Structure 1
Amino acid sequence: MRPIDTAPPMTPELLREARRQIRLVSLANLEGDLGTWEGEAAQRDLRSLVTVYSPGLPQICRVPGVAWFWAVLLIWDMERMRQGVDEAVAACREYGHTWELGFLLHLRSRIAGHAHLAGPGPWSRDADESLRIFLDAGDAWGAAEALAARGEKREQSGEHALAADDYRQAMRHAEQVGARSQVALLSARLAGALVEQGEGEKGERLLREVLAEGHRANIEARAFALLRLAQRCGHTGRTGEARGLLEEAMRVFADRRIEIFQSLVQGMISWVDVLDGRPEEALAGLRPALVQAQDPLSQMVAAHMAVSHLLTAARALSAIGGERRGTDAARLLGAFDALHPALYRPESTERESRAVAERTARAALGDTAYERAYAEGGRLTVAQAAALV
């Protein structure tokens, strides 16, 4: 029984459960400074919540108990997260909690899709089933979330036309419930897919429309649009505007300590530095960005970010020139190719950076030395590759 299933007064045991679940609700609505949860007392509180709700218990199959997974995320225990979701899915099927099953399948698809980044597999089956459940339940918000997640994974596998279709459908569902900020975020994601499938001008117009909406676009939508537009501007030679957009993106989160976002933006600023012929400055910015990208939370929710930073570093090193830097650039290219999942399809900016870095490094080293260094890089871990930067 959930505390919200009965009217007060509550028994002492149910009251304790209610207090725990209020704590979980606060986690589910977490915004802002993630560093708040890194202190010893906060981590102890989180571990206590995780211990009380073991995987498979009925409490974590239903709202608000499903927010237990936020506590697991914030103690950086990915294995417990996977186990907990698997057992909760099985429990929902057993207890007949249909909507909650859809939510947990959606969550599991995002975890699995993140682990493999893209391509067919269990994550796509879970995504499709969760979408069917939300549609059958008439849950427009759930359907929008499921479609958005599927679109994101399709983008990562290079299926940009299918991703764009998912985003358009998701926008229609979000509009049904008046979720304007979610529509803005989906518009920005649609714009990114359009750019990647060759409709750059159309995508750019859409990104500028999102930014022009102001208050209708929440922080997440605004930040995403700024980053996508900066990427578009840099890729088309407008590095000054790209830099300004990235500086604005950094200011959006100036009062929050979200290292994942800071690392992402700094990596893009370093990419612009390379485009502007400032490779030494690019490397100086990439070093702290790589440290941030390797922390447990970043690795859990944005594992590919560190690998992308390695590619930017390879391009910067190759631009500096010389045998030693060219060798390290070749090693980083080998690491980039080996460390990103085989089903992941690099974006246009990554493909360009990789081609330029390889061409420049080969010219500095010659084919034989390049291939030898490239093979060495293919055996490196992220940490070992980052040490070359």
Structure 2
Amino acid sequence: LEHCAHRRLLLVLDNCEHVIGAAAELAERLLTHCPGVRILATSREPLGVPGEFLRPLEPLPPGPAHRLFADRAAAARPGFDAGDDPAAVAEICARLDGLPLAIELAAARLRLLTPRQIADRLDDRFRLLTGGARTLLPRQQTLRAVVDWSWDLLDTAERTVLARLSVFAGGCDLDAAEAVCADGATRADIAGTMAALVDKSLVGAEPDPDGMRYRLLETIHEYAAERLAEDPADARATALRHARHYLALTERAEPLLRSAGQLPWIRRFETELDNLRSALHTVIEGEQDAVGTTIAQRMLAALGWFWWLRDYRGEGADWTARILARMPVEPAEGTPEYWPSMRLRMLHVFLLAESTGADRFRTPEHRERAARLKEVFRHGSPETTRFPGMLWPAICFLTGDMEHFHENVDESIANCRRHAGDWETAIPLLMRTHFAIDMTGGLSTVDADLAELDAIAHRVGDRWIRAQVASAAGEAALSRGQYGAARAAYEECLRLAREVGARIEAPFAIARIAETEYCAGNYESAEKLLAEADREADEQGGVYDVNTFSRFLSATLALRRGDLALARTECAAARAASARINVPAQFTAGMDLIETVLDARENGPEAGLARIGGTLAGAVSGHCAERVLAGIAETASLFLADTGRPEESVRILAAASAWRAGQPRSVPEEAALEGLPERTLAALGAAGRARAEAEGRTLTPAEVLSLLGVSGS
């Protein structure tokens, strides 16, 4: 004090953590009596004296970490070049959390191992990273000694909490830490202990949209997990508390994921995704008892919609299959296990359908399972209206048995109206609306359902439901030739899909916008949008629906340009992609029509005429919408005119116009028929053409098929 009292100087106190009390006392006395003195102290925790300003020393960022590794590696192995395997060097530095001493110890191992071998062995880092310089203090010669040093400075409560924190994957918030680590202590005690661990730099704290989030560096996490494993009973109890906490979170959040306030909860699930996976692993892969099975069933049910919405469908199907494998084939009806089991089986079917090919559901085994699920869920009760129960009519799409779909979906809607809320009712209503728009005679029936869906969407607020309703409205407008309204609706669908993070729906909405541009005659815009949809789908690892539809629309655009080779290639690609999904009949009819037109372009109108009857017959048997039937018939009319049969051409064209019932043709459809009236007028005269038109207006699709030489339809 006498020496420093009148001096201006900086005093450095290095590595204070093991003498923290004495260092704090010294610092406070010096600062109180020596106004010109400033102190720079390094320590695992703050000194805790007045006027202290904390400057956390974070792990090295990637650039400096890589340079440190390269420098120490060159010393250990002369001639070493980090550029030979930069990925391995980056993995080493990242998994060692940018800790300089750990990086130096890893680099020293290059005398024995390659960077890739070191990276592959970091799961056992405490045995691997030894052999520091002999001149270092013993606690700095191995990675384990470094962490042991910090562990030995903790009190019993701090050690217990740090060990239990290792059960978390991806960090946690304070509520979770209190719920999982509080066995034998009050929740308030955990908060104080967490604060001490943060101060000691063993737990990191960083702001999160939902509050502070606490994380362990990977090295500390591995060490703490080893310490927790030393007490197997405590490890099992901690893991079970962790699973129960995240079960409570998922069940609390599940209905909110389908509400106007869904966005924070979706973000929360994404933040906690690794913890959710860890909890599922605990109860599915750990000790197989009734408690774990129940927790697993309930958590899987609560996560089902999140997996569907955010496109974790393959992962969800895998988790669901793993718990189903542990359960009886089918619990007895009336037991507590019955409905949870049946809902999980239904969930598994639909998650699997979205992540694998549709053809697997056409086997006798899957058809039998599907028939059983339909039998269970079609009987109206509140249990059958909970997600995914109300989806049971869609099993028809998986098995290909579409005969009774309309009656089935009506049953599901009626059941949801009796026993469920708006959200549940909207799901089968959407199925019925989309199905009706695509079906013969259906377009005129959808307005009431669309109006009800719009009202439900505004009441519920769920952006996914709102996006689906906008998509249905866009499809109806497109079918009616209202291309501006259709584009606006699809753009609303796209906005909402992106807002809610529905990654599959977004590229499909872009592809549908491209379709509206094509129908309006804006071909360049359609091609740009189609390319955008393809890029976005590729970013998601491929989306079968988008790939199928995009290839089909690309074939259509290529055909319009006269690029027959590309049109055939894209049509073949669309057919190949469609094998992975269940496509509607009108899509199949569209591909058939493209191939028919290609035959006519390459081999003459007779070749097209030879196929067009079969194309129309397929669309008729598939109950395709009138605009689809009309488009095929109009193509047939062109072939007939081109082969010298003007009277039949006029009749079929008049029939097609009548089927449209006032709905306009698209711009490319209108362009394809350009000049046809004048040609038939020249061939038949005004009276002859008028007579043929009058005869044609009353023709049914079956009668047109007869004119085209197709019988038995």
Taking a change above 3 Å as real, the CA distance of residues 151 and 304 of structure 1, as seen in their structure-2 partners, is same
Partners in 2 of 1:202 and 1:61 — Cα distance? Answer: 42
Q: What's the secondary structure of 2:504's corresponding residue?
A: helix
* Equivalent runs, 1:32-111 vs 2, <5 Å: 50=374, 52-54=376-378, 57-71=381-395, 74-81=401-408, 83-85=410-412, 87-88=414-415, 91-92=416-417, 94-111=418-435
Q: Once the 2 structures are TM-superposed, how far is the Cα of residue 78 of structure 1 from its aligned partner?
A: 4.9
Q: Distance in 2 between matches of 1:132 and 1:210?
A: 30
Cα gap change, 1:387/1:33 in structure 2, threshold over 3 Å: closer, same or farther? farther
Is 1:379 the counterpart of 2:702 in the alignment? no
- Give the 5 Å matches for 1:344-359: 344-359=663-678
CA contact under 8 A between 1:46 and 1:75: conserved in structure 2? no
The correspondence for 1:142, drawn from 465, 468, 474, is 465
Deviates more, 1:277-286 or 1:21-30: 21-30
1:271 aligns with 2:597: yes
Do the aligned partners of 2:409 and 2:428 also contact (CA within 8 Å) in 1? Answer: no
Which one has a larger percent helix, Structure 1 or Structure 2? 1
The secondary structure found in structure 2 opposite 1:318 is helix
Q: Hey, what's the Cα distance between the residues in 2 that align with 1:302 and 1:17?
A: 38
Q: Distance in 2 between matches of 1:168 and 1:257?
A: 25
| Equivalence map 1:316-327=2 (5 Å) | 316-321=639-644, 325-327=645-647
Q: Is the 8 A contact 2:457 2:465 kept in 1?
A: yes
- Cα deviation for residue 304 of structure 1 reads 4.5
What amino acid sits opposite 2:403 in the alignment? Answer: W
Kindly provide the CA deviation profile for residues 299-349 of structure 1, in whole angstroms up to 9, marking residues without a partner as x.
1x656434422221111111111xxx3232222213212333x25332222
Question: 2 CA distance for matches of 1:230 and 1:376?
Answer: 35
Please, which moves more after superposition, 41-50 or 70-79? 41-50
Asked whether the equivalents of residues 99 and 133 of structure 1 are also in contact (C-alpha less than 8 Å), the reply is: yes
Matched, 1:312 2:638: no
Instruction: Give the TM-score taking structure 1 as reference length.
Output: 0.79
Q: Residue 153 of structure 1 corresponds to which residue in structure 2?
A: 476
Gaps of 5+ in 2: 1-293, 302-326, 709-713
In the alignment, residue 384 of structure 1 is paired with which amino acid?
E
User: Would you say 1:335 and 2:655 are equivalent positions?
Assistant: yes
* Mapping for residues 126-275 of structure 1, pairs under 5 Å: 126-213=449-536, 215-216=538-539, 217-253=542-578, 260=585, 261-274=587-600
- How far did residue 46 of structure 1 move? 5.5
Alpha-carbon deviation of 1:43? 6.6
Q: 1:263 to 1:110 in 2, by over 3 A?
A: closer
Equivalent position SS for 2:411: helix
Q: Deviations over 1:75-128 (max 9, x none)?
A: 41255146425523xx52x43512112223323433444455657xx6334334
Aligned-pair distance for 1:66?
Answer: 1.0
Counterparts of 1:283 and 1:27, CA distance in 2: 42
- What CA deviation, in whole Å up to 9, does each residue of 1:200-222 have, x standing for no partner? 32222111233345623512212
Distance in 2, Cα, partners of 1:38 & 1:68: 16
Q: 1:176 to 1:286 in 2, by over 3 A?
A: same
Is the Cα–Cα contact under 8 Å of residues 106 and 146 in structure 1 kept in the other structure?
yes
Query: Which residue number corresponds to residue 292 of structure 1?
Result: 618
Aligned-pair CA distance for 1:55 = 6.8
Query: Which AA in structure 2 matches 1:179?
Result: A
Counterparts in 2 of 1:277 and 1:365: CA distance versus 1, 3 Å: farther
Is the Cα–Cα contact under 8 Å of residues 413 and 425 in structure 2 kept in the other structure?
A: no
Change (3 A) 1:353 1:33: farther
User: Match of 1:345, as an amino acid?
Assistant: P
Q: Which AA in structure 1 matches 2:609?
A: L
Q: Alpha-carbon deviation of 1:21?
A: 4.4
Matches of 2:341 and 2:565 in 1, distance apart? 51
Aligned 8 A contact 2:426 2:453 in 1? yes
One-letter identity of the residue aligned with 2:482? E
Q: CA deviation at 1:190?
A: 0.8
CA displacement at 1:198 relative to structure 2: 4.5
Larger Rg: 2
| TM-score (structure 2 length as normaliser) | 0.46
Compared CA separation, residues 315 and 219, structure 1 to 2 (3 A): same
Partners of 2:381 and 2:423 in 1: CA distance: 17
- Name the CA distance, whole Å, in 2 between partners of 1:185 and 1:262: 18
1:12 to 326, 332, 341: 332
Alpha-carbon RMSD across the aligned residues, in angstroms, is 3.7
Cα contact 1:274–1:315 (8 A) shared by 2: no
Measure the CA separation in 2 of the matches of 1:128 and 1:292: 32
Highest RCO, 1 vs 2 (Cα 8 Å, sep ≥ 6)? 1
Contact 2:507/2:537 (CA < 8 Å) preserved in 1?
Answer: no
Which amino acid in the other structure matches residue 392 of structure 2?
A: W
Letter of the structure 1 residue corresponding to residue 427 of structure 2: F
Q: Which digits, 9 at most, give the CA deviation of each residue in 1:133-184, with x for residues without a partner?
A: 3454442222221111111111111221121111111112111233333211
Which range is displaced more, 106-115 or 154-163?
106-115
Distance in 2 (CA, whole Å) between partners of 1:46 and 1:356 is: 52
Letter in 2 for 1:331: R
Q: Does the 8 Å CA contact 1:147/1:166 hold for their aligned counterparts?
A: yes
